[in-house]
């Protein structure tokens, strides 16, 4: 049995050789965009385990270098040494074997002991996404498994606010993916994980990527950092509410909150003024209790604004079935009951995938705000849109906004889709929902009749003084008009300009 723990090993003399091997793989076109195109996927997270035989037979049959790279390093396939020779040179193969990334057995079969995940413009090594795809005599299930680059990692990568900063921190770093992405726009990056094998994996990726501004540390969250503060803090923590708490990279205790709660509580001691903290996670939802209120409690007395973006909602029953395990029908049903009982005991009716973003609040704008939006998960870079939400909230809380409105003009931010619905045969009022088109986040807003009419009248930029005159002539309450304009500005559907 191959010792699968002996991965992510790199001697000083092999660093440049490994970088060359990674560069040769990249030259085949091995990237997020190319993999989607090659496998016929709209998004890389749409890849399906059960469809792997179809991908191989229908998409990778030509066995060109890119086909071989995808099969070996992404689909966890087995290739022959003669095929591997079309992808990697002898020197590349040897350094991959010494590093614990490749295994070549006596029969000429080659298997990857770790996967290579394209993310943004980086190639990231980590453990396999499907450890259950073990081959006879070959284990791919280390007990201290490093989290693969999955959907939640990609959502955080796409939604992170990117701007030049001095220092970034990535907690629960795993493979180090978010530290690597932050390194491109930060002078200094610190990555922390409590799993020593994850620390080794992250250091391996830092060396393979040729970054000299990333430090990887072993420790429990903020513990090794002392009083240091950061302009960007990211985290993809263990969050699954597990009755067993058996997978350290995944499980966050019976409530799922053991780690994420401590991260949020520590932000006030480590987030710089003007800094941003972003956490991708799942949180159990109780009927009648807004999740954002619980997050505010975790934050304590910290004077911070919170934006909570709901990305996916899972019914508790379906969540239990998804995570249950068992080799026999009876064992599987027992596992389902165990998971369902745990969620029920916590009062969770749903588990919600959320992106949490925190920033220090401006005292001039009143008490810190909390905002909840809902969107489909981002399929491309969305950090600027998260940043725009914070800018809009600051603007509508500016005490001088109304005087600025009186002297300004307004127009739509961009094309807007309006969806109007009416229940026939019922007494519910009609609803109108608006979405700003062309954005990476499809946040949908419910408009009241005044807000709807204002959006419709802005085919061209319109002066606020003109809107005020029309409102007075129609006998509309001016306060209602201002409140509608401020709401639309907060939604980002309209923007304020000046003469």
Confidence band, pLDDT 50/70/90 cuts, at residue 2:
very low
Q: What is the pLDDT of residue 3?
A: 46
How much is the pTM? 0.93
Confidence band, pLDDT 50/70/90 cuts, at residue 474:
confident
Distance CA 20, CA 24 (A): 6
pLDDT in tens, 196-250: 999 999 999 999 999 999 999 999 999 999 889 999 999 999 999 999 887 788 8
Distance CA 171, CA 158 (A): 17
| pLDDT, mean over the chain | 92
Residue 48 pLDDT more than 70?
A: yes
In the CATH hierarchy, which top-level class contains the domain 400-498?
A: alpha beta
Q: What is the pLDDT of residue 386?
A: 96
Distance CA 379, CA 42 (A): 9
- Report the topology of domain 151-395: Rossmann fold (3.40.50)
Residue among 377, 321, 385, 370 nearest 354 (CA): 377
Q: Where are the alpha helices (DSSP H) in 90-195?
A: 90-98, 151-159, 177-183
pLDDT in tens, 154-167: 999 999 999 999 99
Distance CA 499, CA 490 (A): 21
Q: Which residue has the higher pLDDT, 116 or 251?
A: 116
Distance CA 32, CA 177 (A): 14
Confidence band, pLDDT 50/70/90 cuts, at residue 406:
confident
Residue 329 pLDDT more than 50?
A: yes
Residue 136 pLDDT more than 50?
A: no
Q: What is the pLDDT of residue 430?
A: 78
Kindly list the domain boundaries of the chain, sorted by start residue.
12-113, 151-395, 400-498
Q: What is the pLDDT of residue 1?
A: 36
Residue 413 pLDDT more than 60?
A: yes
Residues across the chain: 499
């Amino acid at each position: 049995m191959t010792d699968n723990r002996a991965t992510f090993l790199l001697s000083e003399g092999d660093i440049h050789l490994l970088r060359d091997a990674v560069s040769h793989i990249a030259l085949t076109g091995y990237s997020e965009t190319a993999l989607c195109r090659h496998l016929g996927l709209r998004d890389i997270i749409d890849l399906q385990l059960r469809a792997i035989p179809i991908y191989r037979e229908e998409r990778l049959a030509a066995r060109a270098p890119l086909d071989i790279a995808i099969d070996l390093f992404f689909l966890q396939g087995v290739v022959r040494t003669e095929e591997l020779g079309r992808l990697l040179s002898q020197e590349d193969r040897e350094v991959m074997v010494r590093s614990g990334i490749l295994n070549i057995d006596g029969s000429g079969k080659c298997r990857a002991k770790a996967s290579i995940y394209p993310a943004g413009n980086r190639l990231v090594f980590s453990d396999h996404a499907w450890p259950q795809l073990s081959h006879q005599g070959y284990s791919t299930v280390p007990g201290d498994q490093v989290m693969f680059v999955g959907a939640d990692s990609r959502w955080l990568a796409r939604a992170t606010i990117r701007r030049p900063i001095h220092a970034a921190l990535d907690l629960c770093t795993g493979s180090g993916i978010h530290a690597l992405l932050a390194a491109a726009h930060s002078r200094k990056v610190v990555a922390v994980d409590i799993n020593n094998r994850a620390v080794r994996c992250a250091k391996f990726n830092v060396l393979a990527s040729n970054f000299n501004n990333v430090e990887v540390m072993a420790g429990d969250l903020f513990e090794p950092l002392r009083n240091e503060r950061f302009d960007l803090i990211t985290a993809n923590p263990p969050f699954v509410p597990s009755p067993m708490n058996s997978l350290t990279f995944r499980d966050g205790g019976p409530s799922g909150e053991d780690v994420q709660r401590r991260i949020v509580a520590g932000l006030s001691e480590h987030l710089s003024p003007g800094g941003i903290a972003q956490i991708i996670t799942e949180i159990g939802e109780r009927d009648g209790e807004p999740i954002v209120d619980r997050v505010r409690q975790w934050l304590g007395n910290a004077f911070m604004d919170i934006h909570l973006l709901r990305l996916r909602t899972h019914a508790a029953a379906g969540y239990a079935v998804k995570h249950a395990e068992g080799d026999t029908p009876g064992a599987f049903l027992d596992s389902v009951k165990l998971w369902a009982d745990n969620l029920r005991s916590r009062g969770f009716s749903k588990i919600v995938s959320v992106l949490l973003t925190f920033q220090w609040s401006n005292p001039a704008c009143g008490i810190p705000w909390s905002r909840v939006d809902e969107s489909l998960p981002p399929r491309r870079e969305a950090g600027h849109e998260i940043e725009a939400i914070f800018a809009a909230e600051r603007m509508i809380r500016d005490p001088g906004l109304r005087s600025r409105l009186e002297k300004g003009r307004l127009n739509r931010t961009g094309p807007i889709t309006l969806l109007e619905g009416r229940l026939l045969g019922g007494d519910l009022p009609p609803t109108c929902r608006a979405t700003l088109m062309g954005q990476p986040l499809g946040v949908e807003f419910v408009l009241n009749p005044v807000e709807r009419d204002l959006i419709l009248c802005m085919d061209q930029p319109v002066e606020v003084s003109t809107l005020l005159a029309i409102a007075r002539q129609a006998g509309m309450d001016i306060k209602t008009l201002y409140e509608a304009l401020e709401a639309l500005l907060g939604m980002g559907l309209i923007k304020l300009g000046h003469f």
